[in-house]
Amino acid sequence: MAEVVVVESEARAGELAAGSILDLIAAKPDAVLGLATGSTPLPVYRALAEGVRSRGIDVSSLRGFALDEYVGLPAGHPESYRSVIAREVVQPLGLDPHRIHVPNGALETISDAGEQYELAIERAGGVDVQILGIGTDGHIGFNEPGSSFASATRVKTLTAQTRRDNARFFDSPDDVPMHCITQGLGTILRARHLLLLAFGGGKADAVASAVEGPISASSPGTAIQLHPHATVIVDEAAAGRLQNLDYYRYAWNNKPRWQGL
The residues that touch ligand GLP, with contacts defined as CB under 6 A, are 36-40, 67-68, 133-135, 141-142, 162, 166
CA–CA gap between residue 147 and residue 154 (Å, rounded): 11
Burial 16-44 (b: 16+ CB within 10 A, else e): bbbebbbebbeeeeebbbbbbbbebbbbb
Shortest CB 115 distance to ligand GLP, Å? 20
Shortest CB 123 distance to ligand GLP, Å? 23
Shortest CB 82 distance to ligand GLP, Å? 13
Q: Is 165 a catalytic residue?
A: no
Of the two residues 57 and 169, which places its CB atom closer to ligand GLP in the complex?
A: 169
Of the two residues 62 and 210, which places its CB atom closer to ligand GLP in the complex?
A: 210
Cβ–Cβ under 8 Å, residues 136 and 166: no
**Residue 252: partners with Cβ closer than 8 Å, 6 or more residues away:** 3, 4, 5, 6
What burial class does residue 217 get, using C-beta atoms within 10 Å of its C-beta: 0-12 exposed, 13-18 middle, 19+ buried?
Answer: middle
Of the two residues 105 and 133, which places its CB atom closer to ligand GLP in the complex?
A: 133
Burial 246-260 (b: 16+ CB within 10 A, else e): eebeeeeeeeeeeee
Q: Is 193 a catalytic residue?
A: no
Shortest CB 61 distance to ligand GLP, Å? 25
Q: Is 23 a catalytic residue?
A: no
Q: Which of 10, 118, 128, 137 is catalytic?
A: 137
CA–CA gap between residue 75 and residue 9 (Å, rounded): 36
Of the two residues 77 and 249, which places its CB atom closer to ligand GLP in the complex?
A: 77
Shortest CB 30 distance to ligand GLP, Å? 24
Of the two residues 163 and 244, which places its CB atom closer to ligand GLP in the complex?
A: 163
Of the two residues 104 and 162, which places its CB atom closer to ligand GLP in the complex?
A: 162
CA–CA gap between residue 203 and residue 25 (Å, rounded): 30
Shortest CB 256 distance to ligand GLP, Å? 30
Q: Is 96 a catalytic residue?
A: no
Q: Which of 68, 88, 118, 235 is catalytic?
A: 68
CA–CA–CA angle 253, 259, 261 (5° rounding): 75
Catalytic residues: 68, 137, 139, 144
